[in-house]
Chain A
């Protein structure tokens, strides 16, 4: 039984921070993790018989900081779920969580967002070409300052002034192929980055 008046607040402070870092994960999962860590810390700290402040500090130190522990859970969770489903939405959801926990996660999230955005825009403009044959596709448009902008257009709105379309109907197969390919490659990149991160975190502690 926990009796030491000083012990419980330390554990609760750690768990409170952990819970905050896990926010965004499924509520039931977060509750389980926090409960399990409470149980672990209490058992571990009392392993010597008496529950002491030093024992609690050692038990907490052995688990790592709440940020590190949460990062491990979030990335492990992502990898496990990716083995079941490679849905970009699922992956992005986990990456958002990871990005709030580490700099590496932030950069991976940004690159992944960019990849998915380009991929979907390409595929969309290919699909919309069949509905907006005169305006959708890949265009070169003068920017007024003597230069030209490359523009991927979905075809809403009018024909751009002075613009020239590049691919014509080729945008349909090319856009679909490259767009879908980009989405698949981006997913692979995201999972690869997470695995690299996991490997780098496998260094010995303390």
Chain B
């Protein structure tokens, strides 16, 4: 707890963390778009395709929250590893929400890109 309080964090770092955190829900919905995955697979996919994962301890509670909200459902499946795994899949409501969020994201990021163009050129 103390070690992670990171009192010396730069404001910019904090902003980046908030930004990532805000995108995590959409990223999880996107990771599940093509079919069901279990927790570790979702984490691995997010790590491979993005640098959104702040901590594993954040993703699992978020998954259970998405479940309470009815955006994902879960089922236990026996695995070859000798223990069952909890798989998550999108519900129709989750699919709908994913589409809405993706559309919002696209609108938002293209307007930000336009706005930020001069800053990138200035480099």
Report, as a range, how many residues of chain B touch the other chain. Answer: 20 to 34
Contact segment of B29-37, B61-69, B92-100, B106-114: B61-69
Cβ contact within 8 Å between B85 and A43: yes
**Closest approach, in angstroms, between the C-beta of A49 and any C-beta of chain B?**
12
List, in ascending order, chain B residues with CB within 8 A of A63's CB: 55-57, 60
Q: A55-71 toward B: CB 8 Å interface, digit per residue (1/0)?
A: 00000001111011100
Interface membership of A72, Cβ < 8 A: yes
A118 to B39, CA, bound (A): 44
Cβ contact within 8 Å between B55 and A64: yes
A205 to B14, CA, bound (A): 12
List, in ascending order, chain B residues with CB within 8 A of A36's CB: 39, 60, 86
Contact of A205 among B55, B61, B83, B85 (CB under 8 A): B55
Cβ contact within 8 Å between A81 and B68: yes
Interface membership of A73, Cβ < 8 A: yes
Interface membership of B4, Cβ < 8 A: yes
List, in ascending order, chain B residues with CB within 8 A of A33's CB: 60, 64
Interface membership of B40, Cβ < 8 A: yes
Contact segment of A121-129, A136-144, A158-166, A196-204: A196-204
Cβ contact within 8 Å between B85 and A203: no
Interface membership of A86, Cβ < 8 A: no
**Which residues of B are interface residues toward A (Cβ below 8 A)?**
1, 3-6, 9, 13-14, 17-18, 21, 38-40, 54-58, 60-62, 64-65, 68-69, 76, 81-86
Q: Known contacts A39-B83, A64-B57; can you find 13 more A-B pairs with CB under 8 A?
A: A2-B82, A32-B86, A33-B60, A36-B60, A43-B85, A62-B57, A63-B55, A72-B61, A76-B65, A77-B64, A80-B65, A202-B21, A206-B3
